[in-house]
Amino acid sequence: MSSYAGLSASGGGISYTTSKHAINGLTKEIAWEYGRQGVRANAIAPCLVRTEMAKVDFETGLNVKLAAETVFNRYAEPAEIADLTLFLASDSSKYMTGQIISIDGGYALGKNVTL
């Protein structure tokens, strides 16, 4: 599990952002090194998910401002991230590897973020 913070320098803190960039590199390296042996490696990069980590956003009202930066004007529900996780664990994604999959409700659109 990566994060939007692994796709840019997003002010998430040096340790957190660095760890997510490392996950993205590790994901791609695993895919490259072990793909011929049938190993698939993909990472999910969520942004703005209604979780315990985002609780302070809702307590302070920051969630309204941040949600407005998404196409859907809301935070993702944890079940929506789980759905993507299940897809990646299934045979439906058997030809996918080395991908960092952003699930951000369009948050990165118009921002300088490259996948």
Q: Which residues are catalytic?
A: 16
Q: Could you give the count of Cα atoms lying within 13 Å of 112 in the half-sphere of its Cβ?
A: 2
Q: Which helix H or strand E contains 48, and what residues bound it? A: none
Closest CA to 104 of 27, 10, 22: 10
